[in-house]
Amino acid sequence: MAVVQSLLPRLLHLPILTKPTTALFFLNPFNSKPALNPPSRPFATLLRSTLSAAPPPSLEDADDADLLAAAAVPQIPADRLFVPPETELPSGDGAAAALSARVLKGSNIVLSKYARDAQVAQAEFVKSSVRTEDCPSDGLPEFALVGRSNVGKSSLLNSLVRRKRLALISKKPGKTQCINHFRINDSWYLVDLPGYGYASAPQELRTDWTKFTKDYFLNRSTLVGVFLLIDASIPAKKIDLEYASWLGQNQVPMTLVFTKCDKRKKKKNGGKRPEENVQDFQELIRGFFETAPPWIMTSSVSSMGRDEVLLHMAQLRNYWLKH
């Protein structure tokens, strides 16, 4: 069955299976009901990658090249890596080491030839919308940030663009109540969405936020991917797993972004290190997906993961624009 060209951008984050299958890639332990609106997301042939000993892609500016050189060697099994479409991977002797050198630091994401033009030179707020149809209509690609109300969405957005107050940071969770579009380099958008879970707003408003956010996920044609933020300073929350479940069931392209990875809790008080909470979340998510979705560890305080997120967005965006 041939891949339908118009579906390629929406399939960009689908886990890559090791053998053909007609079953959905997603397993939901919390809800055995069929996926919402499945006719709108036909499950086309999954994208695969070929193998070859190609060097890491060179980026167009020096800063990005430096990031590539600094890529860490993670201890992640090859079958748990996220390999973007059209990515050539090393084979033969030394393939494992060569592959590790292409993985972004603090993530499971392999760099592809599309990882270019990652730096942010300009950022501006464009508009707030309460309906998907009111969002900008210029056709530019966009990435949505979503997570629990106190997970640090605005802090991450400000860190990505190196601006302290581009997105308002509030001490009260639930401050974001609209779909907020920020135009980057006059060529793509970062989108700040209302948080889920606790919010200092009436119940009826929280219900409306959930409704229009999900409508945005399902019907926004320029959405390249959703970056689901997870607080790595605390144990996994069921609500985060359920949100990931919903995105997966509806085949919405998703990257897990673990926030607050700079925080350290004392072992004697029963706290776990962020990397331990990230690992625990990965084990739980195995019950959802046949293969791992892309993930990145970040900290808005130390800027950990900022450049890695931008490189990942760049390769997804450039692939989306080509197809």
pLDDT at residue number 240: 92
Is residue 17 predicted with pLDDT exceeding 60?
no
Long-range contacts of 208-213 (CB under 8 A, 24+ apart): 208/130, 209/177, 212/130, 212/131, 212/132, 212/179, 213/146, 213/179
Q: What pTM was computed for the model? A: 0.75
For the chain, what is the radius of gyration of the CA atoms?
19
What is the spatial distance between Cα 178 and Cα 128, in angstroms, rounded to a whole number? 6
What is the spatial distance between Cα 261 and Cα 275, in angstroms, rounded to a whole number? 7
The letter for the amino acid at 82 is F
Is residue 11 predicted with pLDDT exceeding 70?
no
311's enclosing H/E stretch is: helix 306-322
Q: What's CA 320's distance to the chain center, in Å?
A: 15
Q: Which residues contact 310 (CB under 8 A, 6 or more apart)?
A: 118, 119, 120, 160
Q: Which residues contact 32 (CB under 8 A, 6 or more apart)?
A: none
Specify the higher pLDDT residue, 44 or 179: 179
Report which of 127, 190, 105 is spatially closest to residue 153, judged by C-alpha positions. Answer: 190
What is the spatial distance between Cα 245 and Cα 287, in angstroms, rounded to a whole number? 10
Q: What topology is assigned to 123-322 in CATH? A: Rossmann fold (3.40.50)
pLDDT at residue number 173: 45
pLDDT at residue number 295: 96
Sheet holding 295-297, edge to edge: 123-129, 179-184, 188-192, 142-147, 223-231, 254-259, 295-297
pLDDT in tens, 250-304: 889 999 999 999 887 655 545 788 999 998 998 888 777 776 799 999 998 888 9
Q: Which residues contact 132 (CB under 8 A, 6 or more apart)?
A: 179, 212, 215, 216, 219, 220
Is residue 312 predicted with pLDDT exceeding 60?
yes
b/e per residue 63-102 (b: at least 16 CB within 10 A): ebeebbeebeebebeeeebbbbbbbbbbeeeeeeebbbbb
User: Strand (E) positions, 56-152?
Assistant: 123-129, 142-147
**Residue-range domain boundaries for the chain:** 123-322
Q: Burial, 260: exposed, middle or buried (Cβ in 10 Å; 0-12, 13-18, 19+)?
A: buried
Cα angle 285-291-296, degrees, rounded to a multiple of 5:
65
pLDDT in tens, 146-180: 998 889 888 899 999 988 767 654 444 444 578 99
Entry field: residues in the chain:
323
pLDDT at residue number 126: 93
